């Protein structure tokens, strides 16, 4: 069986991983459109980078609660049905954003959007794992993330152009159309997932506590947390910094396009390397690159030089993104742990995002923006040290 195309009854067809990748491309394109303008859209509403940091920190808290409180939903129902249901309401939320800039309505709509995004992420991630042989989890994650990052590569450029010429409302409308198209693609491909548990663990607090009883799950959690922490400077803080330096929305698109380029070029390669040398080495090099990049930015004042350094830091993210989730699935001891622990695992994104935004917001009250780079450099150094404690899984040594 091929990676993307298989032969069945003398007919060539797309593998399930390939079909999931194509659906993911449409969703990622919509998400990249929204993320390109998201912090600028918020700044237009709240008129302060500090307020943007604090308000945006509310959403990871909501997602954190959802990821483990919605575990029974993810366990009990078909992941494919949850996936379609969540996409429908994400599309509706984007339409609502296009028509209103009321602060209270924005907060309420963002909370609703976050709830359905957590369901989408949980269901999609488990479908990828369920369609993957255990020896090829990192390879398939690499394929999926490379496909998604093609959208994240092109999306900011397109979103910047649309926003510059048609306004931010148009960006949300186009994103909504793409989400609804992804529902059509998903149903056309007839992707099914019937991994349903009839007997559920109802004590969610104990379930969350159980997650951290295993030290390797805990370290896997922290690796994703570090990755999410870094994304806050790229997608929340830098777009506003770009505008404050007199550059337009198009420059946000150029910056995010260039940052994503190393991800598209190298993620699949780093996923294959991780399968050969193990996750521990990949993680340590990745966080070292991120730490050095942030510290260099602290000592540089030219915004274009900062662009170059942060774009190069994408190599570190390319090492992390396809491998953090693959590593998590590899440290699980049984298949029944996937729906039970995948939700709690994803809360690490929210812990990382929340911490980055709150710490940055507090720091910006007292110090200039460049000290944000010092903060991020120090935090990435901490994750670099933690990375030496992860479980040394080498997938290619498995039978």
How far apart CA 311 and CA 305 sit, in angstroms, is 10
Tens digits of per-residue pLDDT, 376-388?
A: 999 999 999 999 8
User: Would you state the pLDDT for residue 379?
Assistant: 95
User: Would you state the pLDDT for residue 371?
Assistant: 94
User: Would you state the pLDDT for residue 198?
Assistant: 45
Tens digits of per-residue pLDDT, 134-155?
A: 555 656 666 777 788 888 888 8
Residue 324: is its pLDDT beyond 70? yes
Tens digits of per-residue pLDDT, 334-381?
A: 666 776 777 788 888 889 998 999 999 899 999 998 999 999 999 999
The DSSP 8-state label assigned to residue 339 in this structure reads: H
* Domains of the chain with CATH codes: 5-195+204-397 (1.20.1250.20)
Instruction: Specify whether the CB–CB gap between 22 and 190 falls below 8 A.
Output: no
User: Would you state the pLDDT for residue 347?
Assistant: 84
pLDDT band at 132 (very low <50, low <70, confident <90, very high): low
pLDDT band at 14 (very low <50, low <70, confident <90, very high): low
How far apart CA 324 and CA 230 sit, in angstroms, is 14
- Start-to-end CA span in the chain (Å): 18
Range with top average pLDDT, 173-187, 267-281, 385-399:
173-187
How far apart CA 234 and CA 362 sit, in angstroms, is 18
User: Would you state the pLDDT for residue 137?
Assistant: 61
Mean pLDDT of all residues in 239-250: 87
User: Would you state the pLDDT for residue 377?
Assistant: 95
User: Would you state the pLDDT for residue 312?
Assistant: 95
User: Would you state the pLDDT for residue 308?
Assistant: 95
Residue 399: is its pLDDT beyond 50? no
Tens digits of per-residue pLDDT, 42-67?
A: 888 887 888 888 888 888 888 888 87
User: Would you state the pLDDT for residue 1?
Assistant: 44
251-260, 274-283, 301-310: which has the minimum mean pLDDT? Answer: 274-283
Residue 287: is its pLDDT beyond 60? yes
Buried/exposed code over 206-241 (b: 16+ C-beta within 10 A; e: otherwise): ebbebbeebebbbbbbbbbbbbbbbbbbbbbbbbbb
Buried/exposed code over 287-319 (b: 16+ C-beta within 10 A; e: otherwise): bbbbbbbbbbbbeeeebeebbebbbbbbbbbbb
Residue 192: is its pLDDT beyond 70? no
User: Would you state the pLDDT for residue 222?
Assistant: 92
The DSSP 8-state label assigned to residue 11 in this structure reads: E
User: Would you state the pLDDT for residue 258?
Assistant: 93
Residue 244: is its pLDDT beyond 90? no
Residues sharing a CB contact under 8 Å with residue 139, sequence separation 6 or more, in sequence order: 3, 271, 272, 275
Handedness of CA 320, 326, 330, 332 (dihedral sign): positive
Structure-token pair, residue 273: 């390397």
Structure-token pair, residue 212: 């951290």
User: Would you state the pLDDT for residue 195?
Assistant: 54
CB count in 10 Å sphere of residue 116: 20
Range with top average pLDDT, 35-44, 190-199, 306-315, 389-398:
306-315
Residue 394: is its pLDDT beyond 50? yes
User: Would you state the pLDDT for residue 53?
Assistant: 82
């Amino acid at each position: 069986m091929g990676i993307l195309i298989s032969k069945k009854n003398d007919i060539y067809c797309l593998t399930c991983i390939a079909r999931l990748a194509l659906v993911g491309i449409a969703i990622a394109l919509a998400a990249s459109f929204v993320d390109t303008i998201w912090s600028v859209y918020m700044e237009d509403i709240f008129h302060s980078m500090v307020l943007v940091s604090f308000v945006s920190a509310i959403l990871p808290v909501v997602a954190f609660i959802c990821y483990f409180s919605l575990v029974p939903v993810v366990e009990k129902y078909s992941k494919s049905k949850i996936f379609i249901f969540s996409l429908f309401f994400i599309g509706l939320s984007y339409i609502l954003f296009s028509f209103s800039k009321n602060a209270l309505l924005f907060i309420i709509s963002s909370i609703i959007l976050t709830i359905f995004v957590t369901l989408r992420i949980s269901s999609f991630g488990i479908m990828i794992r369920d369609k993957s042989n255990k020896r090829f989890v990192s390879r398939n994650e690499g394929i999926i993330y490379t496909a998604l990052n093609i959208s994240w590569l092109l999306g900011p450029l397109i979103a910047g152009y649309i926003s510059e010429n048609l306004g931010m409302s148009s960006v949300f409308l186009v994103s909504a159309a793409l989400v609804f198209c992804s529902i059509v693609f998903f149903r056309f491909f007839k992707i099914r997932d019937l991994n349903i548990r009839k007997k559920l663990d109802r004590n969610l607090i104990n379930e969350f506590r159980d997650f951290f009883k295993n030290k390797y799950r805990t370290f896997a959690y922290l690796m994703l947390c570090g990755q999410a922490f870094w994304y806050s400077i790229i997608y929340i803080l830098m777009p506003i910094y770009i505008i404050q330096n007199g550059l337009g929305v198009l420059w946000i698109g150029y910056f995010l396009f260039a940052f994503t380029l190393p991800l598209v070029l190298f993620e699949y390669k780093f996923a294959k390397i991780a399968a050969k040398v193990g996750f521990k080495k990949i993680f340590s090099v990745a966080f070292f690159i991120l730490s050095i990049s942030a510290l260099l930015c602290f000592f540089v004042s030219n915004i274009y030089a900062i662009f170059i350094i942060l774009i190069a830091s994408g190599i570190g993210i390319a090492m992390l993104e396809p491998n953090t989730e693959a590593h998590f699935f590899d440290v699980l001891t049984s298949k029944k742990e996937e729906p039970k622990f995948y939700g709690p695992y994803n809360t690490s994104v929210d812990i990382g995002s929340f911490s980055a935004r709150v710490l940055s917001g507090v720091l910006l009250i007292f110090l200039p923006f460049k000290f944000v780079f010092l903060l991020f450099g120090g935090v990435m150094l901490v994750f670099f040290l933690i990375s030496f404690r992860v479980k040394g899984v080498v997938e290619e040594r498995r039978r």
